[in-house]
Amino acid sequence: MISLRRKSSVKLEPLPLNITSLMDVLTVLLFFLIRFFTVNPMTLSIPKDIALPKASVNQQIIEALVISLSKNELRIQGHLVVTLEGGSFKKSDLAPNGVIIPKVQTYLASEIDKRKNILEDNEHPTNPAIKELPPGKVIIQVDKDLTFDTIKRLLHTATKAGHGDFQFLVTTIQQ
């Protein structure tokens, strides 16, 4: 009987796969994904009794000490430091010069000492974010209805305590 099958004697060699262009596209795609989905690790909780002012400036928030000043209280990192009456500091909470707030100055001075100690202890830190902790930087959340006199006392006290680099938190105006 005759075999109807043909035997194929042609052997195909595998073609080399050229993925250079594919790698270029994936690299560009990865770059854009990283660029647009980078999340700022600093999250702030805004107290309910603070209505922030609106502004059109949009700047990244840097890790820093957070001071919240409402019509009723002043909090640092969420800890109640001083209570206010009618949006103003009580005379009993002010120094004799009427400008400095001693409780706030003491608290801020202790915070700056803590941050300086962290930086000194971590001269060669494994976490690069530690070097991003500026000792004199503060983020200030202020109710938009407070008087400038009240805010000025806070700023003056913070500067005296060594925190002279301010960043005010505002609500972004939608355009």
Total-model pTM: 0.61
Q: Copy the structure tokens of residue 66.
A: 């957070």
Mean pLDDT of 77-90: 89
Residue 105, pLDDT > 60, answer yes
pLDDT for position 20: 85
Q: Copy the structure tokens of residue 11.
A: 């052997």
Q: Where are the domains of the chain?
A: 66-172
pLDDT for position 166: 83
Residue 98, pLDDT > 70, answer yes
121, exposed or middle or buried, with CB in 10 Å at 0-12, 13-18, 19+?
A: exposed
Spatial separation of the C-alpha atoms in residues 154 and 167, rounded to whole Å: 13
The number of angstroms, rounded, from the C-alpha of 158 to the middle of its chain's C-alpha atoms is 19
With left for phi above 0 and alpha for psi between -120 and 50, is residue 78 left, alpha or beta?
Answer: left
Instruction: Tell me 61's DSSP state.
Output: P
Q: With bands split at pLDDT 50, 70 and 90, how would you rate the model's confidence at 82?
A: very high
Q: How far apart are the first and last CA of the chain?
A: 87
Residue 3, pLDDT > 70, answer no
Residue 159 sits at the vertex; the CA angle it makes with 170 and 92, to the nearest 5 degrees, is: 95
Alpha-carbon Rg for the chain, nearest whole angstrom, is: 29
Lowest-pLDDT range, 7-11, 20-24, 73-77, 151-155? 7-11
pLDDT for position 103: 92
pLDDT for position 125: 56
